[in-house]
Amino acid sequence: MRLPTIPTVRPDAPGLPLWPPLLAARGPGGRSTSHAHHGMHVVLALGGELRVRAGDRGAWARAAGVVTAPDALHAIDASGSEVLIVFVDPESDAGQSMRAATVGSLRVVGAAERDALVDGVTPMELMGPGGAAWTARVVAALGGERVRSPRAVHPRVRRLLRVLQALPPGGDASLDTLARQVGLSPGRLMHVFTGSIGVPLRPYLAWLRLQRAAAAVVSGRPLGEAAHAAGFADAAHMSRAFRRMLGVAPSELRPAGAPAAAHGRGRSVAASRQARAKPPERT
């Protein structure tokens, strides 16, 4: 599965989401072993069905798609299918609404629901201004409460978003420094940031860093360079964050045809897909 380049979004542009764009991809599906990750994801088979199970010993179920809860153990077999996969931060407004509509560890998606969610959708659109409207469609399809209307953003938070966008890799993103740059106390900054954006500052920075790293990887940069470009200590640190938050390794985001040697250690996309594409288990 490969992610397209993540577009740059001006934090002060009218009509654009203040939360960093979603991580979305479309491509050949594979098969995962039982695993858990903090980021929620929506996996939709673009034709036919996929198989999913909760836990590591549950029965496999067939569905057109699935929405997984954060930190829930699950396995997905989408071998032979093209899929749309969208990662969502569970602490965001959209993530909280989706989580409330997801009973247990996962929620299967029916064919009619899938068709409504994939119609005319591309990953690039989802990671831009269309992402907010699409997550609202997901919540509606799941029967949950609608995603909140856009929040009123404190002017100092708008200034902070501009600061964060220009912050170089390894730049000082400590609370004291950021608060000083926008003229607020640390406590006040945490309060107005959460009220304006919908998530605390630290989770926001963590997801922003993941997205910057993903953008560097899919542009063809070696894993070590991508890690440093996003502020990770090294490629191993970046890989642990990707697996914990998204359930995938950064090496799986490499562009097609990119030589593995140019990306440091790690399996190629082809090798990763081959490892996942084992024959389906008997149920």
Q: What is the pLDDT of residues 84-99, one digit of tens each?
A: 999 888 888 788 888 8
Longest dimension (CA), the chain: 61
pLDDT at 49: 95
Q: What are phi and psi of 40, to 5 degrees?
A: -75, 155
pLDDT in the model for residue 260: 47
With vertex at residue 60, the alpha carbon angle to CA 74 and CA 282, rounded to the nearest 5 degrees, is 120
Q: Are 124 and 28 in contact (CB under 8 A)?
A: no
Q: What is the DSSP string of 245-266?
A: HHSS-GGGGPPTT--GGGG-SS
The pLDDT tens digits for 17-27 are 556 667 888 88
Give the pLDDT confidence score for residue 178 in this predicted structure. 96
pLDDT of residue 174: 93
CATH of domain 23-142: 2.60.120
Low-confidence ranges of the chain (pLDDT < 50): 5, 8-16, 259-283
Residue ranges of the chain assigned to CATH 1.10.10.60: 155-271
Torsion of the alpha carbons at 178, 174, 221 and 13, rounded to the nearest 10: -20
C-beta separation of 121 from 65 below 8 A: no
Q: What is the pLDDT of residue 262?
A: 40
- Say what the pLDDT of residue 185 is: 97
CATH of domain 155-271: 1.10.10.60
| Cβ(70)–Cβ(203) below 8 Å | no
Domain(s) labelled CATH 2.60.120 in the chain stretch across: 23-142
pTM: predicted TM-score of the whole model, two decimal places = 0.74
Q: What is the pLDDT of residue 253?
A: 75
